[in-house]
Structure 1
């Protein structure tokens, strides 16, 4: 079980601290689809929060489309549609026994619903053909408030998939989908509920991506000396916001935390002049190094710069490749 930490003397409400930590655990797949969340009693013991507060946090998570409540069982991480119904990509059932079992289970269910084998075959072939056609065009979507996250996803997918990928603000997605057929929409699990709500009327395929879990970086932060001046730099305002919450929950006021978007040069130069250690995403890393060179005459000692791994987890990218028929 993850060890959630709540800073009781913080200006940030305890419920928001817990909400953001659980949401991060889901988005980074530390809590994968189908995972049962701790009971309110367990979390109350761990965090010291009242069970009513935890229940409200779980209700927020459910309203966000991230979890679902199963009566008499508990709260579970909600699987998205593409995770619930992945079709096998090989007929070699003896070689892939798990896939064989899934296919036979699906066939049994469809036959029970009254379909014939011929109809089932047509449905499967149509679904596969639709997925292949959707793979021809991939759109990355995020809200306008965090286009930096979309830029990170775009850069990493273009490199990993070696196919054209287009970034579309979520606010413009309805207009694009109304004139586009056979497209795959990709977004972070943070924004999956919004994306699916927009795409639903257009029968568009939507796939969520799991973000990198930042376990190494958080472990390093935990070991930093008290009063260390720690800088956080990213293209994404959302990443910065979540990082501030997580670091504050982990260390409280032990560290002097400074943050800047890579696009804000004035703020970035101020950060590199002050920070002793800087953590940045891969896309922002060269921008941070250039900023350090620009103020090198003002520095007694250059800050240590730590570049995190990709924003999107490797397993999630590999799954996307298979979903698109690229691997």
Structure 2
């Protein structure tokens, strides 16, 4: 074997784990090139004086993670392409870490053990970079403010974007988890298939408005004004269930001429938001804060 791996029985790290880490590092840094054959299980076991079943387990784990593939009559070869492209950054980072540790009198084994423990500790903390997603730009800031108050001291960053811009933002990276409202969870999940997506239940503060809607006379014309289609449709659907005999108008903009005939307008966040400023209609707020229990759910889901 040109690339000799070394395992040590005097370390607390299991032999299989030591070998797995070394082989993965050797592949990631180009010591084993794509398409190159690894030693057979028998060759590796004899060279390292390790049980053949341990080697088989290591090779199986490398294959599961996409670093190697098994080919008939050839053996285990390095995958092409690799799970991530090779560059020199990892080697340079490690060299700097070992040099700095040496200057402080920290032995390589001690640094490696501490790095493993710290990595486990960081993983236990959970998602550190959150991305909040809503359908409309105007909705982002109020929800982000609530997230900052609830979990801002437990995460590194909370950013926000719209559903339309979500794919581009995810392509840029640096996101550990996506947060959205319950209204948009089904839209957002397919756009972020490899990240946890947590939906927030909304504050039941709109129940007061819902109660008033339920008391309206049959045939009353009610306008639901909101730029974003999904929450507009959801609220309109709720209004129809509360008052089956009501006539409901859904409008994306406050200048929709159909609103002029509405006796009641439902707005957002404050009475009449989105409604014509000179409207003479009865204006009902439909507030969308986050239920405090939703933040408990968020912390549990993301390990915060």
- TM-score, normalisation: structure 1: 0.45
Q: RCO greater where, 1 or 2, for CA within 8 Å and sep 6 or more?
A: 1
Q: State the structure with more CA Rg.
A: 2
- TM-score, normalisation: structure 2: 0.48
Answer 1 or 2: which has greater helix percent: 1
